[in-house]
Structure formats: structure tokens, C-alpha cells
């Protein structure tokens, strides 16, 4: 039987790489995108049933080129995981317009453009979309004017996609991770934020990349065949506390 195809953006490390490995374990083949060509080469080299797709998800021409490459090489797309993203922590008055635009380009334009490019293939396969938001898109804070706003928009993007594409049998859901010790998070989580997260989360710890991957792969699989337009917070219980972000 032909393996279904998952196209994962930002797959060279962190949550994207863990998700790649879980899809492979479950019998999928994976098109691994990343803007970091060297890290993508290193991450994909030891893996079987993967296609490395270097490129920038925030560029419309690149989004179209990469999607064409995946469908031409692997025969279609059964799941698109819009995982690529960047972080930027800081108060509003210190957030330059250049920083704001960088966050919006990577975190919001990317998922829009990649989904637009992949939609014909997803309609053909009656496939699934999973967008990676964040608990920062569900709660406001003093530090996340750009990042939090981009992730809240990704949640609404998911709802729009679910409603628009439902009649074609395409599902769209969102995973909102809590803190995970990836390169992205560790660049902006100070020791104070790390300690505060440990106190704030009912599970009193950071999550792992593979714990987030489990939620993503589940929502892409047929086990979630009647689930669309949902936001699944994989966050150690943070949402349940009702308190503010550290």
C-alpha cells in the first residue's frame, strides 16, 4: 500500500522534527520543509521515506514551488502541518515594525500561503491541515504583542479553513502547545519565565516535542475523521488554570 504523505513545515528541528519521526513510525512518508538548508540536510539524511524541501514558507513563489515539488515527487498531500514559526518577546513600545513584520510573515503569512498552495492536493485526497498556534494565542501577556497576536490569528485562520474546506472533506485543526524546550523557546524564555511556567502549569513541567507531535499526528489521522475546526491545547493544563502567561 502507498504510504500517505505529510508535508511538515519547519521540520529540521524541534516540534517539526519530532512530528516527522512520529508520522514515519505510523507508516507515512514525510516531505520535510525548512528555511535552514544545512539543518534540514542533517536532520533528513538518516531518515527513510522523507523528501527534503528547503524553502521559505512566507514567500508565495516558494510556497507554490515547494508544493509542486511535493505533489510531483510523492504523488499528493494527505496532511499539511503548518509548524514553521519564529518567536519574538518584548513589550509593544520596543517592538519595531520590522520585528512585527518578521513575526507576521513567518507565523501567519506562511500558514496562509502554504495552505492556499496545498489546497488542490488536499481537496483531491480529502486531507487534513494542522496549524501550530500556541497558548500565547489564547492568552495575552506583557511580552507577546507580535508573537501572541500572530498565534491568535493562526487560530482564526484554522476556523476559516475548517468552515471553507469542510464541504470538500478537508479538515483543519489547530494545536496550541504550552512551553517546550526547543531552540525557539529557549531563545526567549528567561530563567524567571522558566521558573514561573513550572509553577503555573498544573503538570509543573515543560512538555516534550514528542508530546506535541502526538496531538498533531492524531488530528491528521483518520482517528480524528469527525473533528474539524478545533483548537487542542497540549499545554500541561495551563488553559484550565485561567491565569495569565508568565
Which residues lie near ligand NAD (CB under 6 A)?
Answer: 9-10, 12-16, 33-36, 56-58, 83-86, 106, 110, 132, 134, 177, 179-180, 182-185
Q: How far is the CB of 71 from ligand NAD (least distance, A)?
A: 18
Where helices occur in 92-230 by DSSP H, the ranges are 97-104, 110-125, 145-165, 183-186, 191-200, 209-220
Query: What is the C-alpha to C-alpha distance for residues 78 and 111, in angstroms, rounded to an integer?
Result: 16
Q: Which of 28, 147, 197, 238 is catalytic?
A: 147
Q: How far is the CB of 215 from ligand NAD (least distance, A)?
A: 11
Of 208 and 221, CB closest to ligand NAD: 208
Catalytic residue check, 147: yes
Q: How far is the CB of 10 from ligand NAD (least distance, A)?
A: 3
Chain position carrying cell 483531491: 124
Q: Which residue number is nearest to ligand NAD in terms of Cβ? A: 14
Helix (H, G, I), strand (E, B) or coil at 50: strand
148: cell is 501572541
Measured CA distances, 10 to 108, 229, 239 (Å): 14, 22, 25
Query: What is the C-alpha to C-alpha distance for residues 175 and 231, in angstroms, rounded to an integer?
Result: 6
Of 10 and 127, CB closest to ligand NAD: 10
Of 177 and 246, CB closest to ligand NAD: 177
Q: How far is the CB of 16 from ligand NAD (least distance, A)?
A: 6
CB atoms within 10 A of CB 104: 17
Helix (H, G, I), strand (E, B) or coil at 155: helix
Catalytic positions, written as ranges: 147
Amino acid at each position: 500500500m502507498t504510504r500517505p504523505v505529510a508535508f511538515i513545515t519547519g521540520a529540521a528541528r524541534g516540534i517539526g522534527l519530532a512530528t516527522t519521526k512520529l508520522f514515519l513510525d505510523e507508516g507515512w512518508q514525510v516531505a520535510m520543509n525548512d528555511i535552514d538548508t544545512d539543518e534540514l540536510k542533517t536532520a533528513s539524511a538518516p531518515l527513510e521515506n522523507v523528501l527534503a524541501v528547503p524553502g521559505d514558507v512566507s514567500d508565495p513563489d516558494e510556497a507554490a514551488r515547494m508544493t509542486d515539488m511535493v505533489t510531483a515527487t510523492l504523488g499528493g498531500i494527505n496532511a499539511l502541518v503548518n509548524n514553521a514559526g519564529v518567536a519574538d518577546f518584548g513589550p509593544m513600545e520596543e517592538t519595531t515594525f520590522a520585528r512585527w513584520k518578521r513575526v507576521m510573515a513567518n507565523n501567519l503569512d506562511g500558514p496562509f500561503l502554504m495552505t492556499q498552495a496545498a489546497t488542490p492536493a488536499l481537496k483531491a485526497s480529502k486531507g487534513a491541515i494542522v496549524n501550530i498556534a500556541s497558548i500565547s494565542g489564547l492568552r495575552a501577556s506583557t511580552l507577546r504583542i507580535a508573537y501572541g497576536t500572530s498565534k491568535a490569528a493562526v487560530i482564526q485562520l484554522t476556523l476559516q479553513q475548517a468552515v471553507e474546506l469542510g464541504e470538500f472533506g478537508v479538515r483543519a485543526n489547530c494545536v496550541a502547545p504550552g512551553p517546550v524546550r526547543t531552540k525557539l523557546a529557549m531563545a526567549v524564555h528567561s530563567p524567571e519565565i522558566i521558573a514561573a511556567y513550572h509553577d503555573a502549569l498544573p503538570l509543573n513541567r515543560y512538555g516534550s516535542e514528542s508530546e506535541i507531535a502526538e496531538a498533531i499526528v492524531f488530528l491528521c489521522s483518520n482517528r480524528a475523521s469527525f473533528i474539524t475546526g478545533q483548537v487542542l491545547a497540549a499545554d500541561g493544563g495551563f488553559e484550565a488554570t485561567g491565569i495569565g502567561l508568565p
